[in-house]
Structure 1
Amino acid sequence: MNIKAYTLGAVMTVSSATAFADKHIDQSTRLLNSIQTGDQAAASVINPNKYIQHNLMVADGIAGFGALLKTLPKDSARVHVVRAFRDGNYVFTHTEYNFFGPKIGFDIFRFENGKIVEHWDNLQETAVKPSPGGHSMIDGPTKAVDPEKTEANKMLVHDFLQKVWVEGDSKALSKYIDGERYVQHNPMIGDGVSGLNKAMKNMAEQGMTVKFDKVHQVLGQGNFVLAVTEGKFGDKPASYYDLFRVQSGKIVEHWDTIETIPPQSEWKNPNGKF
Structure 2
Amino acid sequence: MKKLILLLALILVVASGAQNARSEGETDLSHKDKAVALIRSIESGDSGPVSYVNPEKYIQHNLLVADGLAGFGAVLAQLPAGSAKARVVRAFQDSEYVFLHTEYDFFGPKAGFDIFRFENGLIVEHWDNLQAIAPANPAGRTQFDGPTSVADRDKTEENKTLVKGFVKDVLMGGNPGKITDYIVPAYTQHNPAIGDGLEALGAALKAMADAGTPMIYTANHMILGEGNFVLSVSEGEFLGKPSAFYDLFRVENGRLVEHWDTIEEILPRDAWKNGNGKF
TM-score over 0.5 for the pair: yes
- Comparing 36-45 with 107-116, which one deviates more in the overlay? 36-45
**2:274 counterpart of 1:261:** no
- Give the partner amino acid of 2:160: K
Give the number of the structure with larger relative contact order, counting CA–CA contacts within 8 Å between residues 6 or more apart.
1
Q: TM-score, normalised to structure 1's length?
A: 0.90
Whole-angstrom distance in 2 between the partners of 1:211 and 1:271: 23
In the alignment, does 2:109 pair up with 1:102? yes
Tell me the equivalent position of 1:176: 182
Trace 1:112-151 onto structure 2 (pairs within 5 A).
Answer: 112-127=119-134, 129-151=135-157
Deviations 1:188-225 (A, max 9, x none): 11111111111111111221121101110000000000
CA contact (8 A) 1:215 1:228 kept: yes
Q: What's the % identity of the aligned pairs? A: 56
Structure 1 100/230 Cα, relative in aligned 2: closer, same or farther at 3 Å?
same
Separation in 1, partners of 2:275, 2:117: 18
Letter in 1 for 2:52: V
Deviation at 1:234, TM superposition (A): 2.1
The question of 1:221 aligning with 2:226 is answered yes
| Cα distance in structure 1, aligned partners of 2:157 and 2:37 | 28
CA RMSD of aligned residues (A): 1.3
Aligned residue pairs total 253
- For residue 210 of structure 1, the aligned residue among 207, 211, 215 is 215
Kindly name which structure, 1 or 2, has the bigger radius of gyration based on alpha carbons.
2
Match of 1:54 among 61, 83, 90: 61
CA contact (8 A) 1:245 1:252 kept: yes
Whichever residue aligns with residue 239 of structure 1, its letter is A
Does structure 1 retain, via aligned residues, the 8 Å contact 2:205–2:214?
no
Which 4+ stretches in 1 moved above 4 angstroms?
Answer: none
What is the aligned partner in structure 1 of residue 22 from structure 2?
none
Structure 2 letter corresponding to 1:215? N
Q: Quote the Cα distance in structure 2 between the aligned partners of 1:145 and 1:22.
A: 21
For residues 151-172 of structure 1, give each alpha carbon's deviation from its aligned partner in whole angstroms, at most 9, with x where no partner exists: 0100000100111111254322
